[in-house]
Chain A
């Protein structure tokens, strides 16, 4: 099991204290700062080749910002990101373009993520040519057909436009586009949340199979815990721009340590009606604080049902490895207390 911040030269993807802040600018006349949104505020993580890491958290916790930062669509305010020993965060804007074929993204809304004026063939062909600029004509069509078969679509439909497909089919095309440049890392930002439940499982199975068969590494972002539990090898729980718990999927789901994770897990409905009746829910009060003015100390104290000490309201607890491979934000009031009682 690797350390929280692995060896940048050896490990697949390493994040070291990544912060992405948004400066809201200054007011017009008085030139006072309007504040800084700390969307991602110090995330450290090591991702192994071939694994699926689930990233969960409430809306606004910084999951999407983190994914766009890893994708270098947003550049980190501070911190380092290494992919296969190359420090992405140090590559200039001009040079990053040629690196992008190594990491691709699947977007949330398949209705917005495909160019409505381009056929599937044009969209995928354009993406294929980022890796193989020499392909054209029959060879390019053959490659696009191969991609479509890979995602379970009929290749004879490649001359069609996005509006002629259903949401699930469009998401398959979007997945094919992400695969087209033959990346090693795929970031899936809520790829099933815009789809019907019946289609969700098909897409999840497709992603799981592709990851295994193509040797991909995936960061799977979702707010839906049952989805994340199904697909992930490891799960990271984000709260207010930080990771507060990280570990193997079973450990996080079955034996969560942090009260916030426990609350999230207790929100997953049970399929068995008897178990569902006996399910003990931890209901959290209030909304997460604004990322413009996050609380000092343990990020969770304003919402925790357990009163925190003055020290934990000012000094931030570090992530520690409680059990092998299972990291948690070490706040004694959030961790360890028997919250079930």
Chain B
């Protein structure tokens, strides 16, 4: 503990300048969580695989000699070979480059829609929770209202009204996914708001935006990050589902959902057309779920099961 003889009185002694380098570096909760995550072999392995898949999809098309939409009807529906590692589809397009390009779309849908959902959900939820009372009640009833809309019908209506477009799909998915984010952030803020450090921030006269941004949101970010990692695969599944129904990404553009849809049509004759995109999709979903689980255990050590 501290020694009382050392204690000084405010203003009475001229404090020597404290050099930045002399300070004992603290270990933030984020740092601790990262250290815990690094010990989780499954999560780290998943992270590595996920990064590799991302690199494969993003950089791959530049290295491949084939164009994703170039048809070669003379070499249609060939199995995997030295020329076409994943084989070709019925129109003779190289499957590997289509998996890469499709992966770009799928991953982008997953990330963009999640980031949109995250931004709207965190700000909306934190505001509702912080203000509380009638404002909170009406803001959350609006969320309930959107929740009650059947998603598929909502998307079909959008497509019918505005025509099919990929951006519309982003909007539709974002509109659905921010709802649960907002609920989680709101309930987190509600319980944090009663904590004494928030009362202390109020009694120091900090502005509302400062209290929300510096004191509330960083403390609800843990669960939000976990939900976000688990939202990415959910969104990718939604995209695949919509594309499968023919409502999402339109041919000749590819996404993993579109490729799986094409593959299942011919799966008995040309199984590789289903196998490769489905394998990439499944591995990506597994990885994201393992990363999400690992993050949850790392950010909230109490929830970790031994």
* Segment touching B, from A3-11, A111-119, A250-258, A303-311: A111-119
List the A side residues contacting B206 at CB < 8 Å.
97, 126, 130
* Interface contact B15-A149, CB-CB below 8 Å: yes
* Segment touching A, from B25-33, B91-99, B154-162: B25-33
Given the contacts A117-B218, A159-B26, A149 and B203 also touching, CB distance less than 8 Å: no
List the B side residues contacting A119 at CB < 8 Å.
26, 28
Q: A145 within 8 Å of B by Cβ?
A: yes
Distance in angstroms from B199 CB to nearest chain A CB is 6
List the A side residues contacting B201 at CB < 8 Å.
115
Q: B63 within 8 Å of A by Cβ?
A: no
User: For window 109-133 of chain A, which residues contact chain B by CB distance below 8 Å?
Assistant: 109, 112-121, 126-127, 130
Q: A181 within 8 Å of B by Cβ?
A: yes
Interface centre among A113, A145, A146, A202 (most CB of B within 10 A): A146
Q: B153 within 8 Å of A by Cβ?
A: no
Q: Which residue of A lies closest to B215 (CB)?
A: A115
Residue in B2, B28, B199 whose CB lies within 8 Å of A152: B2
List the B side residues contacting A168 at CB < 8 Å.
1
* Interface contact B200-A113, CB-CB below 8 Å: yes
A170 to B81, CA, bound (A): 66
Given the contacts A115-B197, A117-B219, A145-B15, A71 and B7 also touching, CB distance less than 8 Å: no
A227 to B4, CA, bound (A): 20
Q: B252 within 8 Å of A by Cβ?
A: no
Q: Which residue of B lies closest to A149 (CB)?
A: B8
Given the contacts A142-B18, A159-B24, A116 and B29 also touching, CB distance less than 8 Å: yes
Interface centre among B17, B28, B196, B207 (most CB of A within 10 A): B196
* Interface contact B203-A155, CB-CB below 8 Å: no
Interface residue total, chain B, C-beta cutoff 8 A: 41
Q: B9 within 8 Å of A by Cβ?
A: yes
Distance in angstroms from B119 CB to nearest chain A CB is 20
* Interface contact A160-B24, CB-CB below 8 Å: yes
Q: Which residue of A lies closest to B7 (CB)?
A: A152
Interface centre among B3, B15, B30 (most CB of A within 10 A): B15
List the A side residues contacting B199 at CB < 8 Å.
68, 73, 105, 107, 113
* Interface contact A152-B196, CB-CB below 8 Å: no
* Interface contact B10-A107, CB-CB below 8 Å: no
A148 to B11, CA, bound (A): 12
* Interface contact A138-B17, CB-CB below 8 Å: yes
Given the contacts A146-B8, A152-B7, A112 and B26 also touching, CB distance less than 8 Å: no
Residue in B11, B18, B29, B196 whose CB lies within 8 Å of A117: B29
A113 to B202, CA, bound (A): 12
Distance in angstroms from B186 CB to nearest chain A CB is 19
* Interface contact A145-B205, CB-CB below 8 Å: no
* Interface contact A158-B23, CB-CB below 8 Å: yes
Given the contacts A149-B7, A152-B3, A73 and B25 also touching, CB distance less than 8 Å: no
Q: Which residue of A lies closest to B1 (CB)?
A: A168
* Interface contact B2-A150, CB-CB below 8 Å: no
Q: A272 within 8 Å of B by Cβ?
A: no
User: For window 212-257 of chain B, which residues contact chain A by CB distance below 8 Å?
Assistant: 214-215, 218-219
Residue in A100, A107, A199 whose CB lies within 8 Å of B196: A107
Q: Which residue of B lies closest to A168 (CB)?
A: B1
* Interface contact A146-B15, CB-CB below 8 Å: yes
Residue in A71, A115, A155, A161 whose CB lies within 8 Å of B18: A155
* Interface contact B9-A130, CB-CB below 8 Å: no
Distance in angstroms from A238 CB to nearest chain B CB is 21
A179 to B219, CA, bound (A): 25
List the A side residues contacting B17 at CB < 8 Å.
138, 141-142
A41 to B201, CA, bound (A): 27
A143 to B15, CA, bound (A): 8
Q: Contact string, B188-205, partner A, CB cutoff 8 A, digits 1/0?
A: 000000011101111111
* Interface contact B219-A116, CB-CB below 8 Å: yes
A73 to B204, CA, bound (A): 11
Q: A101 within 8 Å of B by Cβ?
A: yes
List the A side residues contacting B3 at CB < 8 Å.
152
Q: B306 within 8 Å of A by Cβ?
A: no
Q: Which residue of B lies closest to A100 (CB)?
A: B205
Given the contacts A71-B203, A107-B200, A150 and B8 also touching, CB distance less than 8 Å: yes
Q: A213 within 8 Å of B by Cβ?
A: yes
Q: Which residue of A lies closest to B218 (CB)?
A: A117
Q: A59 within 8 Å of B by Cβ?
A: no
Q: A108 within 8 Å of B by Cβ?
A: yes
User: For window 163-184 of chain A, which residues contact chain B by CB distance below 8 Å?
Assistant: 163-164, 166, 168-169, 172, 174, 177, 179, 181
Given the contacts A113-B200, A150-B10, A97 and B207 also touching, CB distance less than 8 Å: yes
- Counting from the closest, the 6 A-B pairs by CB-CB distance are A160-B26, A100-B205, A113-B196, A107-B196, A152-B7, A97-B205
11 contacts between A and B (CB under 8 A): A104-B204, A105-B199, A112-B197, A114-B197, A130-B206, A141-B20, A142-B16, A147-B10, A149-B8, A151-B7, A160-B24
